[in-house]
Amino acid sequence: MFRKVTEATAVAILATLAAATPVADTHIHKAVLSRPNVKPFPYNSGRPQPSSPLRTKSCSVTALGGGEDDAPQILDAFHECNNGGTVVLDGNYTIATALDLTFLDGVDVALSGSIAFKPDIDYWLANAFRYDFQSSTAFWKIGGRDVNIYGGGVGVIDGQGQPWWDGFASNSSLLRPISLVIDGLQGGSMTGIRMINSPNWFNLIANSSDILVSDMVLTAKSANSNPVKNSDGWDTYRSDHVVIQNSVIDNTDDCVSFKPNSTNIVVQGLKCNGSHGISVGSLGQYIDQYDIVENVHIYNNTMSNASDAARIKVWPGVHSELEPILSGGGGSGYVKNITYERYESINNDWAIEVNQCYGQSNKTLCELYPSNMTISDIYFIDMWGTTSSKYDPKVGTLVCSSPEQCYNFHAKNVSVTSPKGKSQWDNGEGTV
């Protein structure tokens, strides 16, 4: 159940509930979190975040407990508090059915409790939201206009990934849902939330603009020998003017990845561990699509124990099979004006990797069918630190289809060294 009150009386009512005898589900209402005043810093995406008026009403949702599905009453609360309210989620909630929240307009979400997605694999395989891009699926999606989600450093979103990773270990075609998709949101923020154990990517920001993500902690850890799979921190897709900042990510795949048609993006102040880097791509996967990634500033980040620190990956001009549910090639488009600046590399296999033959191990095919993606105006500025011993003494690799498709690269103050104390580069054929 949920109740609606005005903002002026919400705190008093919740305090009374907290002092009362607990109900059977042991849900104790907490003080309502206030929306934090978080701004993009030091860089914005090229324009200020849209203003977001204060909310004037509140809807508090009492968790049912016992693993019962809270999705219907959460949906009711969003309908009731749409157009100027705050949905208060201060209990331990279970979401067992797909939740479409793409109708929102002027809503805050105060998450001081936890949300866990019931790992009912058969249900989600049949009912999760589906996206054509890379066979993606999602438990829920949030969109509309002017939505702020905040957790005050205590709110948790738990993807319950372990059963999914266990299932994937025996079925590599298993479609595992993304923990949160922001889809079609124009103006909004997500701050101060801890996300754990996503079955697939943690976050996809799709078809959206003017989004701020800040002060997040993302962690994915397996409890057995079955590895975490594809736990990207954030992927952006068909989105413009996005800032992702001041967060900590411990995962096994891209810390952040800029998918097709990501423009005017800033990533700053991240500490990433165990990932595949902060990556442009993959791009050029679908032969009938034109992909663009342009105007991306990656500033003041640290990458540790990853396959790459800075990475650009595009598919070749021929169809290629990378994994059972990941194949493609032949698409066209461009990558332009990408800056990696003030970037610390700690024990990463490559400090810099540019690859126009992603997903294809046959070098001859890549030469016969070069990528249709152009990569240009790329800047690596003030990079330092170390690489791992995997490619020692090489610290970077550049695999380009042709000078016409891969040009205007700049490096300034790049001082990354291998364990042997050298800084050699691999151009795909030899050391340069």
Q: 3-class secondary structure for 186-225?
A: EEEEEEEEEEECCCCCCEEEECCEEEEEECCEEECCCCCC
The reply to whether 49 and 169 lie within a common domain is yes
Fill in the amino acid letter for 45: S
Question: Six-digit token pair at 116?
Answer: 């866990």
Among residues 250, 275, 294, which one ends one of the domains?
250
Angle at 69 between CA 64 and CA 75, to 5 degrees: 95
3-state secondary structure of 87: strand
The reply to whether 309 and 351 lie within a common domain is yes
| pTM assigned to the model | 0.92
Residues 420-432: tens digit of each pLDDT: 887 777 765 433 3
Q: What are phi and psi of 169, to 5 degrees?
A: -60, -30
The reply to whether 36 and 108 lie within a common domain is yes
Question: Six-digit token pair at 78?
Answer: 């969003």
The reply to whether 238 and 329 lie within a common domain is no
| Count of domains forming the chain | 2
Residues 172-227: tens digit of each pLDDT: 999 999 999 999 999 999 999 999 999 999 999 999 999 999 999 999 999 999 99
The reply to whether 183 and 263 lie within a common domain is no
Q: For position 149, what pLDDT does the model report? A: 98
Task: Quote the CA–CA distance of 372 and 385 in Å, as a whole number.
Answer: 33
Fill in the amino acid letter for 305: N
**Which residues in the chain show pLDDT less than 70?**
1-29, 31, 427-432
The reply to whether 91 and 68 lie within a common domain is yes
| Measured CA distances, 252 to 232, 268, 284, 351 (Å) | 7, 20, 23, 17
Among residues 205, 235, 250, which one ends one of the domains?
250
Residues forming the active site = 276
Q: For position 40, what pLDDT does the model report? A: 98
Which domain CATH number covers 286? 2.160.20.10
Question: Could you tell me the residue range of the domain that residue 403 belongs to?
Answer: 254-432
Among residues 219, 250, 281, which one ends one of the domains?
250
| H or E element, residue 108 | strand 99-111
Q: DSSP letter at 22?
A: P
Omega cis (within 30) before 393: yes
For CA atoms 309, 217, 296, 367, give the dihedral sign: positive
Q: For position 24, what pLDDT does the model report? A: 41
For CA atoms 164, 169, 170, 174, give the dihedral sign: positive
The reply to whether 352 and 238 lie within a common domain is no
The reply to whether 48 and 172 lie within a common domain is yes
Task: Quote the CA–CA distance of 248 and 256 in Å, as a whole number.
Answer: 12
Task: Quote the CA–CA distance of 182 and 206 in Å, as a whole number.
Answer: 6
Q: For position 32, what pLDDT does the model report? A: 79
The reply to whether 288 and 331 lie within a common domain is yes
Q: For position 401, what pLDDT does the model report? A: 82
The reply to whether 212 and 237 lie within a common domain is yes
Instruction: Name the nearest CA neighbour of 158 among 276, 274, 67.
Output: 67
The reply to whether 259 and 408 lie within a common domain is yes
Direct distance between the N- and C-terminal alpha carbons of the chain, in angstroms, rounded to an integer: 66
Task: Quote the CA–CA distance of 71 and 284 in Å, as a whole number.
Answer: 37
The reply to whether 246 and 308 lie within a common domain is no
Task: Quote the CA–CA distance of 18 and 28 in Å, as a whole number.
Answer: 5
